[in-house]
Chains A and B, each alone.
Chain A
Amino acid sequence: MKRDLKGIYPLVLTVVAVSAGLVTLLSLVIENTVLTTLRAVFVEWTVIVVAFALLLGVFNVVRVHARRIQSGERAPYSIVLIAAFLIVFIPGVLPPERMPDALGDWVGPRGHIVDFTFRYVQRPLQASLFSLMAFFVFTAAWRAFRVRGAASLVMLVAALVVLIGSIRLRIGNGWELPAALRTWTMSVPVRAGARGILLGISLGILVTGLRLLLGIERPYGVSGAGKVGDEP
């Protein structure tokens, strides 16, 4: 009996997933009230599942860091993370309407505590982090532009053309040439290459999506997906 259920499980998953996918796809191309209603229901279910996933994800984060604190491995960072999580989470989930007047403005998802944390801690930290990108780009470029072959030579030349063409110095008419060369580089070879890559990506997405919709590939219930290296 258990064996039978094990065989049915991937089949049920496939039928549910393929049906939901096909109904959603059909509702986008055919004007039909039943299909549209079903799509709305599926979207609602998705939101609920994502919300649960987020909650379980939080448990995963807490679990990983609790284990680190236990083992002493980079424990101070994990303590700060869990403390920060509790400081934002607990006031964030408290209902402001059920709190005393003095605390009403401080708790809830739009309360002062959550707002302060986002405005004065998270945003400045993110901005600082991305400002570091300039230095990272510099060191990455330094490594990339060391000429090791034809590809890196082309990359170096293209980068120099764009760099020099972007400098807005006006010294006589001669400076029009680098700017024009930069414009040509960006609008012809770079755009052509980018479009080629985008076309390939679009085809990849289309075919992968169809594999999922037709149930040919099943990332859910991977037991049915076939072992790596298996003979087909």
Chain B
Amino acid sequence: MNTTLSDWGTAVAVVLLLGVSWLLWWFSWKARGDRSPRQRFAFRRIQAFEFLRGFLDLVAERGKVAHVSLGNTGIGGERTATVVSSLTLLRYLAEHGAAVGASPTVTVADPTLLFVAQDVVCDAYERQGRAAAYRATDVQLIAPDPAAYAIGALEVIRDERVAANVMVGSFGDEYLLMAEPGAQRDITQIAGSDALNAHPFMVATADHVLLGEELFAAGAYLTDRPEHVASLWVQDILRMLIVAAIVIGVLIVTLTG
């Protein structure tokens, strides 16, 4: 049996992974001791999250529903982390929706995500003691093809009963096909993606936008769970290290010619 580390680059990556894991575990442990982990750390304002906190109440008051799109990817691909962040947001919306009687209609493009999303929504109903109100068709698989998914989701968004449209996850250009009719109907739209090519479309069509890393902060902002707050701490530390490395690199290159 040949057991060796592949190369030096991999060895460095392993050390970095172990270091980040330790930081994450340590900050999570530290945050667990706080009554409200967020208070230890000054969060900058993100309008989309502030809006999300109360918007389902408004939707319920008007007797309408919200549509949630979880993007065109599923569990198991390279975008799994993005999908997990979208699910955190869905969990928040589903619980609050179940509490106020405005549970969202959810559409997904990938069958692997369908059952996880159904589980999240069903669990939300159960926690609110309204398990009987859950319908499996609250979460719908549209189609794995991005264009077909966009058109299928569009039919849901154009429904008169839909008063708000939340689109979080990985989207390509097809995002615009879904969002533009929503913008023309003047319904409230919140969008977030990790795909750079979708960002300009989101800024153009959505009322509130979660750009890039902001999507990964959903858990910390909305649920106040210690592990999510700890993640933000770790991300900030890593970001500062990267900035320091860039500045030092630029200085070295500039000074040494």
| A contact set with B: CB distance below 8 Å | 29-34, 46, 49-50, 53-54, 56-58, 60-61, 63-64, 67, 74, 77, 126, 129-130, 132-133, 136-137, 139-141, 143-144, 155, 194, 197-201, 203-214, 216-217, 219-223, 225-232
Contacts and interface: CB of A to CB of B under 8 A. Distances in A.
B121 to A, nearest CB: 10
B141 A61 contact: yes
Given A60-B136, A199-B239, A232-B225, A141 B91 contact: no
A207 B234 contact: yes
A36 B215 CA distance: 34
Contacts of A46: 76
Contacts of A29: 5-6, 10, 13-14
A57 B13 CA distance: 38
Contacts, number: 200
Interface in B87-129: 87, 91-92, 95-96, 111-112, 114-116, 119-120, 123, 127
Name the 9 nearest CB pairs between A and B, nearest first.
A204-B216, A57-B111, A200-B213, A144-B204, A208-B81, A197-B212, A140-B204, A53-B111, A205-B81
Interface string B35-49: 101000000000000
Contact of B223 (A63, A212, A228): A228
Contacts of A228: 91-92, 95-96, 222-223
A197 B3 contact: no
A197 B111 contact: no
B72 interface: no
B96 to A, nearest CB: 7
B177 A222 contact: no
B64 interface: no
